[in-house]
Structures are given as structure tokens and as C-alpha cells.
Homo-oligomer: A and B are copies of this chain.
Amino acid sequence: MENTNKSLKVNIGGVMLKNPIVTASGTFGFGKEYGEYFELSRLGAICVKGLTLTPRPGNPPPRIAETASGILNSVGLQNPGVEAFVKHELPHILKHDTKVIANIAGNTLEEYCHMAQIISDSATDLVEMNISCPNVKQGGVAFGTDAEMVYNITHEVKKYCKQPLIVKLSPNVTDITQIAKAAESGGADALSLINTLLGMRIDIHTKKPILANNVGGLSGPAIKPVAVRMVWQVASAVKIPIIGMGGIMTGSDAIEFMLAGASAVAVGTANFSDPLACVRILEEVESYLDKYEITDINDIVGKVAVHRK
């Protein structure tokens, strides 16, 4: 049974997305290519390729390896720089009726702040601060793995950020709730999780790692159980909304993340096997709502019925 009046709108840090389907940064470019496969305004939001202050060439190829129900990537933040984004890429996305999330990654606190400032003056709707890319280090420790650093960087960047600030967390940590709470105290308006798990694949015949970078980030269905667990843990630790991601291939996967506590979901690796994945997933989510006669999608967020012990 279809309920035509159902609401798919979700609120991420004060910005209303028309539906909870977001593209995962780095898998969707700046929307141009997939925009040839479907109307981008079907999306709740487009989160663009990770941006850095100055252009970055990225890592040498091969940059991708296939694993069981997953992929490893080591793109290394190839991008034209944040200013080129605002000038050359953003206008194109703005033609579509969807929200724009700028994903930023810096080498230093100053870089993050500077980028936030540049984006603040643009028509971008939200900023997603990636503190979880294995390539971004300070003093040998990635920003995203130390709670105090996460608090500090969030607190500082927030000062420069006119848009709501999403902090994107790394799963490569001992206690994700600590990091999540630090971001929340620092002023984050929302959280994204998870980024990729660090992994490696070796070709046993050449004895070389398949990735020229030796290691890379694991994404896809393989990591979904870890991602759902982290979303669930973080949802009970913070009050700000969560964008959940990690291996979402179907509407059922999206619902699973929302039950665990995500207000919106991002689709990454799925785009590679199905260029229409985002719209298919959206339609599958709608069918689920119809089937259970749910009229407001927010009614399922965090509604997992955990077993009491």
C-alpha cells in the first residue's frame, strides 16, 4: 500500500534534506558524471569529493583493489583545491534542487580553518570536516583518532564556518563514542560515520601490494556490520544527528542504519556497481515505509529494539 503523504524530510544540523539519501564523499565526484544517469535533484544532498586548500594530485595508481564484498581505495584526495571547487564545480551542482555538502581535509588546523572560511562565503549548504583520512597527519597522529584534538579542531573550525558543520569520524579507533562526544562538545552540528577501515591486499604471485600506496581504505558491504555498530553506539552517546554510511547497497541497508540511529545515510561504493544506486535505494526506502505504513521517516530513526540483558 502506498501512502502518498509520507514525509521523507530529515534535518541535518538545521538544514532540511528532502530525503535521507546523500552521496558519500569521494565516490560521486562533483556530481557531473552520475548526473548523466539520473536527475541529481532526486538526492537529499550531494557530498562532494574531499577538498584540500591547494590542489592535490593524489597517489600513484593502482588506487583500487577488490576484496570480499568490499574494495580498498587509495585515491589520496586528488582534487582541484577548494577555490577551484567554489568557482568551477559548485555552480554546476547548484543548478539542481538538492543540498550541497563540501567535504574538507587539511594538513593543519590552519588549513581547515582557512578552507571553512572560503566555503562560508559560497552557496554550499553544509560543511563536512573529514578528520579521518589516513593521509592527513599532525605530529604522527591522525586528527581523528585523539579526542582532545577532535575537540580542538571542531571548536576552531566552527568559528569560521557559517554553515552547519558535520564532523566525519574514522572507524580506526578504540572508542568511537569518545571521539563523537569530543566533536559534539567542540560544536559539531552533525556527525558522519564511518569513513573507511585501513586495509591491505597482497598479490601472492608478484608479492606486491595491489595498491601502489600499499594500504588503502576498505569500504562496501564487508564493513557494514562495523558501521552499524558504531552508528548505534554513537547515537546513544550524542544528541546531534548522524549521517550513517558504510556498505549501503540497498534500501534495507539504509533502513538498518536509520534504526541504529542515523538520520540520513550516505551511499558510496554502491555507485560503482550500480550507477543508479542512490535512486534505487531511495525507492526501496519508500517501499519499506509504505509496507509498514510509516508516514514520517524520522519515526524509525534510532528505533532499534535492543535485547535487554
Contact = CB atoms under 8 A, between A and B. Distances in A.
Interface stretch (A91-99, A219-227, A273-281): A219-227
A224 B259 CA distance: 28
A5 interface: no
Copies of this chain present in the complex amount to 2
A38 interface: no
A10 interface: no
24 contacts: A60-B307, A67-B225, A68-B247, A69-B69, A70-B225, A173-B173, A197-B226, A199-B228, A199-B229, A200-B228, A202-B228, A204-B252, A204-B256, A204-B288, A208-B305, A208-B306, A209-B304, A209-B307, A212-B307, A213-B309, A215-B229, A215-B232, A218-B226, A221-B222
Interface of A: 60, 67-70, 72, 145, 172-175, 197-202, 204, 206-209, 211-215, 218, 220-226, 228-229, 232, 247, 252, 255-256, 259-260, 288, 303-307, 309
A115 B200 CA distance: 36
Given A68-B69, A173-B173, A199-B228, 11 more contacts: A68-B220, A68-B247, A197-B226, A198-B229, A200-B229, A201-B256, A209-B304, A211-B307, A212-B307, A215-B229, A215-B232
Given A69-B221, A256-B204, A226 B198 contact: yes
Contact of A67 (B204, B209, B218, B224): B224
A204 B255 CA distance: 7
Contacts of A305: 206-208
A174 B202 contact: no
Given A173-B174, A174-B174, A218 B225 contact: yes
Given A201-B256, A226-B197, A306 B209 contact: yes
A201 B173 CA distance: 20
B214 A307 contact: yes
Contacts of A228: 199-202
Contacts of A60: 307
A204 B292 CA distance: 11
A111 to B, nearest CB: 22
B225 A304 contact: no
A225 B145 contact: no
